[in-house]
Amino acid sequence: MRAASVCVAAALLACPSMGTAKPAKEKKMAYTSLDLKQGLFRCDIPAGWGQARDEREEARTKVQGVHLIGPKEKGPLAPTLSLRYFASGNTVAQTADAYLKRQLEPGLVPLKGEKTSEPKKASAAGLAGFSFVRDTFEFIPPRSMDTKRIPVREEYVILERKEGFFVLLFKAPSASFKRWRPAFQRALDTFQPL
């Protein structure tokens, strides 16, 4: 398996673990190899994390991949890892640039407290792209007069290929983001388009 690296100098500030020595916690995390022919990639993913796919929806949207959900600790939210390939003609965004633009737009009304980093150049497995980090919130329980705002962090890596693009997204409660991020780093390091 070809090793890959994400070269995102500025993102090191936002995600201290990226590209640095692996924290002790990572040693405890076991990994398994995911080989997704329909998503056109393979990489290592944390063993024991829940996996969800929807192949019929993938056929409709032309967005293929897998959604992984980790264990919940204190609180209602679990870390998640979404590894998706947006094929040409998909229903979400036609190009990596269009996808990135939409994600980075502040929205017609910016969400107070939400911060999205500037996009930085990134690469993995020889594919060039961008990455950015968003600090935002989940609302639990939703639609309630007493909703709790739970800070979450999302880290996106968008990789372009000749046709279509990959979006690798790691999301976790801000309080436990660092603890679980090595799982994302491992996926990035081992990511290999098929």
Task: Write out the residues near other proteins by the rule CB under 8 A.
Answer: 48, 50-57, 61-62, 66-67, 69, 72, 74-76, 78, 80, 89-94, 98-99, 101-103, 105, 107-114, 136-137, 139-149
Q: Tokens for 157, please give them.
A: 């890596």
What's the rounded Cα separation, in Å, for the pair 20 and 53? 32
Nearer to other proteins, 7 or 104 (CB): 104
Min dist. Cβ of residue 97 to other proteins (A): 9
Instruction: Name the minimum Å distance from CB 123 to other proteins.
Output: 24
82, with CB counted inside 10 A (0-12, 13-18, 19+), is middle
Question: In the bound complex, what is the minimum distance in angstroms from residue 2's beta carbon to other proteins?
Answer: 27
Complex with other proteins: residue 27 or 144, whichever CB lies closer? 144
Dist. CA 127–CA 103, nearest whole Å: 20
Q: Closest CB to other proteins among 2 and 144?
A: 144
Using DSSP's 3-state secondary structure scheme, residue 138 falls into strand
CB of residue 61 to other proteins, shortest distance in Å: 6
* Helix and strand numbers, DSSP H then E, in the chain: 5, 11
Q: How far is the CB of 176 from other proteins (least distance, A)?
A: 13
**Cα gap 171→152, rounded to integer Å:** 7
101/121 with CB nearer other proteins: 101
| Four-point Cα dihedral 100, 102, 104, 106, nearest 10 | 180
Closest to other proteins by CB, 22 vs 101, is 101
Instruction: Report the DSSP beta bridge partners of residue 168.
Output: 83, 157
